[in-house]
């Protein structure tokens, strides 16, 4: 968006955790409330799957140029729920979720806030998927082509995404004869930045925006590069000084252990690393970092299942595991117990693959965006 800034938020990828990534601040979506309740699922009975109907909009590839390729189109997915809507005749409002870096169904299923508030506002709910994520892939819907090189992936930018939302909303309102229905946009994390920017850039389309956990000033030169990781550290330190110290000392501990005879076997056994995984101390440390960071990012006061299934107050739970007398002075066992809160709250895992490259929420494009000022 802003010229001259360089976005320093880097996705601390779930599926790839190089140790260098640690120098950057990670970001993942976060929402004020967790998964949609069973009660709400029942109430929105008219929807295809109980929550929404899936639709597609023919979207223009490039909103800002008139080059030959600019007028190409692609199918953009959006989800809609009119269960609570007061209708166009009543100028009932439209709540729009400005989709961020992932499958829109995943975000929709984790944005209970909008479903909970829709009834009292008689709001229409619309969740729009961000271009290049989920099923909203330009270049014929072929992700291999769309992600092939900068000639195609170059159209993945936040300004294009905002223009997509404007085009879709204006067209949808026209089709619903609801041009007078006010629009309020919602989003979390990068999606919250999009919601805030949308209100600023398209004031004639949205009368308001709710931006949750949106680091709109988190750009190079505006905050300290280590502010994100400092906040994570503080999250754990506020639970207990011992918890903070054990985690802080863990990197040297793991390196030292790995260098000792039989150390790698000890680490494999302690952290239940799968036998097929050819791991090193770096990948183990990355795996632990991901646990601390993602848990702090989804440190909700209720049980949740956004990134992984978690108990309420999971950071507190992690520190309780570290501080527990059960593991005595065995710091590796303490670290494992804490990591288990994030990686194995269901208790079903038998071993862990540190190099898991799966991407269940289609987050891949974020790597491209956050290195180019999104």
CB of 312 to its own copies, least distance (A): 39
Specify the residue, 149 or 329, whose C-beta has the smaller distance to its own copies.
149
CB of 166 to its own copies, least distance (A): 6
- Please, which residues have CB within 8 angstroms of residue 59's CB and are 6 or more apart in sequence? 73, 74, 75, 76, 131, 136, 164, 167, 168
Over the window 59 to 98, marking each residue x when it contacts its own copies by CB under 8 A and - when it does not, the resulting string is ---xxxxxxx-x----------------------------
Q: Which residue in 20, 48, 73, 171 binds its own copies (CB under 8 A)?
A: 171
H or E element, residue 335: helix 331-343
- Rounded distance between C-alpha atoms, residue 241 and residue 231, angstroms: 15
CB of 216 to its own copies, least distance (A): 11
- Rounded distance between C-alpha atoms, residue 13 and residue 57, angstroms: 30
Q: Is 367 in the site for its own copies (CB under 8 A)?
A: no
Specify the residue, 154 or 301, whose C-beta has the smaller distance to its own copies.
154
Residue corresponding to tokens 């190089």: 18
Question: What distances in angstroms separate CA 292 from CA 207, 271, 348, one per listed residue?
Answer: 38, 15, 20
Q: Say if residues 286 and 361 touch (Cβ distance below 8 Å).
A: no
CB of 124 to its own copies, least distance (A): 20
Over the window 117 to 156, marking each residue x when it contacts its own copies by CB under 8 A and - when it does not, the resulting string is ---------------------------------xx-xxxx
- Please, which residues have CB within 8 angstroms of residue 145's CB and are 6 or more apart in sequence? 139, 152
Helix, strand and coil percent figures for the chain, each rounded to 5: 40, 15, 45
- Rounded distance between C-alpha atoms, residue 63 and residue 125, angstroms: 25
Instruction: Give the range of 102-110, 165-173, 179-187, 263-271 binding its own copies by CB under 8 A.
Output: 165-173
# residues near its own copies by CB under 8 A: 29
CB of 64 to its own copies, least distance (A): 4
Q: Is 159 in the site for its own copies (CB under 8 A)?
A: yes
Q: Is 58 in the site for its own copies (CB under 8 A)?
A: no
User: Using CB under 8 A as the criterion, which residues of the chain lie in contact with its own copies when the complex forms?
Assistant: 3-4, 62-68, 70, 150-151, 153-157, 159-160, 163, 166-167, 170-171, 200-201, 203, 368, 372
């Amino acid at each position: 968006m802003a010229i001259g800034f360089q976005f320093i938020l880097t996705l601390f990828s779930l599926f790839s955790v190089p140790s260098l990534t640690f120098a950057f601040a990670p970001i993942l979506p976060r929402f004020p409330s967790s998964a949609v309740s069973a009660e709400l699922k029942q109430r929105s009975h008219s929807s295809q799957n109980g929550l929404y109907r899936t639709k597609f909009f023919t979207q223009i590839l490039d909103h800002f140029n008139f080059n030959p390729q600019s007028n190409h189109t692609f199918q953009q997915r959006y989800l809609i729920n009119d269960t609570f809507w007061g209708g166009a005749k009543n100028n009932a409002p439209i709540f729009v979720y400005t989709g961020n870096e992932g499958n829109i169904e995943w975000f929709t299923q984790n944005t209970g806030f909008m479903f909970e508030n829709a009834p009292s506002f008689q709001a229409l709910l619309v969740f729009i998927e961000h271009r290049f994520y989920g099923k909203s892939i330009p270049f014929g819907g072929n992700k291999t082509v769309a992600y092939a090189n900068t000639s195609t992936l170059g159209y993945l930018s936040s300004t294009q995404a905002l223009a997509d939302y404007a085009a879709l909303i204006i067209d949808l309102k026209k089709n619903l004869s609801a041009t007078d229905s006010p629009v309020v946009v919602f989003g979390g994390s990068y999606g919250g930045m999009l919601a805030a920017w949308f209100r600023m850039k398209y004031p004639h389309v949205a009368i308001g925006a709710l931006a949750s956990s949106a680091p709109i000033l988190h750009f190079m030169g505006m905050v300290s590069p280590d502010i994100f990781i400092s906040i994570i550290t503080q999250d754990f330190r506020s639970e207990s000084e011992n918890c903070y110290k054990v985690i802080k000392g863990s990197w040297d501990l793991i390196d030292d252990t790995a260098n000792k005879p039989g150390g790698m076997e000890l680490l494999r056994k302690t952290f239940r690393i799968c036998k097929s995984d050819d791991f090193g101390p770096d990948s183990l440390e990355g795996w632990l970092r991901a646990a601390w960071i993602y848990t702090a990012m989804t440190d909700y006061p209720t049980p949740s299942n956004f990134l992984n299934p978690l108990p309420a107050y999971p950071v507190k739970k992690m520190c309780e595991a570290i501080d527990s007398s059960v593991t005595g002075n065995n710091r590796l066992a303490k670290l494992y117990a804490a990591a288990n809160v994030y990686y194995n709250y269901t208790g079903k895992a038998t071993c862990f693959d540190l190099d898991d490259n799966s991407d269940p929420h289609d987050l891949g494009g974020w790597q491209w965006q956050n290195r180019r000022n999104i």
